[in-house]
Structure 1
Amino acid sequence: MTSTEADDAAAGFGPLRPKLMRVAYRMLGSVSDAEDAVQEAFIRWMKADRAAVREPEAFLRRTVTRLCLDQLKSARHKRETYVGPWLPDPVVEEDEVEDVTLPLMLALERLSPLERAAFLLHDVFGLGFDEVAAAVDRDPAACRQLAARARGHVRDARPRFALERQHGLELAEAFFMASRSGDMKALGAMLSADVVAHADGGGKRPAATQPVLGFDAVMAQYQQVAAWLRTHASKLVRVGFINGLPGFVTLEADGELQTTALDIDDGKIAAIYVVRNPEKLRHLH
């Protein structure tokens, strides 16, 4: 390959990279794994007979999808041996731009790789079933069934109440202030009766190894957190949307970042998602 051909291949691939990253990340839930899949797709694009490719975007999307399907086979075993609750890598945005929120990504974990691909490509990215079929190497009728089954499994993960953007950010900031200052009355007023707290430390940093269920248990946990923070200060880095949910990034006393995302249902916090595993936070530095 000449340097001119390489430059042309890179120029054609560059504008498509963000779209391909969106597909790969939603398939895998890992920023680093998504980057690897997209980079491998680029290598294959460089080696391909590009003159024979009529639709580069479709070709590359198929390539990335198939790479992700292969990756998910080994990822399932890693999830089973993971220490504590597994949460997807946090993606932080200033504005609420995520079309797949964190609860939905967790629901996708319960699907087979093919169901996950069919649902994402059709329901999220809006592809027709003919193109979905080409991407996953199944016929369109089978893909229609895969997407329908997936839809049934993830239905409850869709938000029931629309959340006004600014209100969500204000609630996230208020949660930070109450949880760090130990204002348990203010904290309790924000939580739903059946609130659930998830913390992903991955065995790398201290975190609850099981989800904490219910108002009383979550309040007791944050009372302990507040006592700890009196001598181990936590600094707010930014407030924003984390995987489509209002939340914030903090710098903890051990010098590591942490993200907290809040699932808000009918004005109350229904779930708290904390990522502490440093391997999942490297891309935020």
Structure 2
Amino acid sequence: MASRRGFNATDETAYSVGSETRQHADLAWQYLQATDLASLPPTTVIKRSLTVRSVVSTSSSFALRSQRAIGRPDLQEIIEIGKGLQGAVFEQVGKSLAMKEYGNNATLRTNLLHEASLHRSVYNAFAKYDVIIGSEVKVPQLFRIILDTDTFWDENLSKFPTEYRQPGTMVQMERILPLPKIIRRSLIVQFYPNNGVPLDANSVDEILNETANKHCKKNKAMHPLPLITQTPTDQHTPQGTHPATSSTLSL
């Protein structure tokens, strides 16, 4: 799940707000510049950023590449951003979606369809009741299920990495974007397990620059520090992370 994903810009996206819009929204939202956060201690960065009403404004070469690909199918390559025991996860440059595929294995395909059904049920429940209960949780939308006979493959098969160029069953859903780099860095410094010894700058950079960590999918056991005590986050689940009480942490 993501908390107000639409209002959380990352270093993979560029987010801008008009001055008039910003003026009217200032009371509801906290606008943060990544360059300003960079000079603050990790605990302060986490405290200010990991709330459902924080907007971190950043820019990156990835964002520019994504913007150029909008309306340009020839630039919309499909890139693997995650891989597990049952399948792989992809993004498509220039589109705010993610795709999960389980290949042509019949059992795994059944698992995928079951997972999609559960996903849709959760999405519908939150869509129906979130206003009533005052929830600020937003569940990624499930767009569609793509079968191996779908015309999707005619146009997109060649855009996949070579090892995945075989039609299969896939679920297409709204993508949860990664946390901004400055926040990921702060989480690593504050919580990465290292037997109680602070990580040096080179180790932090090495962990931060792992492709898997960029997409918030690699889990590590949390350093035994009480997040909710040290860095209050209104007890909301921030985008791309587990709740504060979780025993694991997505970097």
Give TM-score scaled by structure 1 length: 0.24
Give TM-score scaled by structure 2 length: 0.26
Larger radius of gyration between Structure 1 and Structure 2: 1
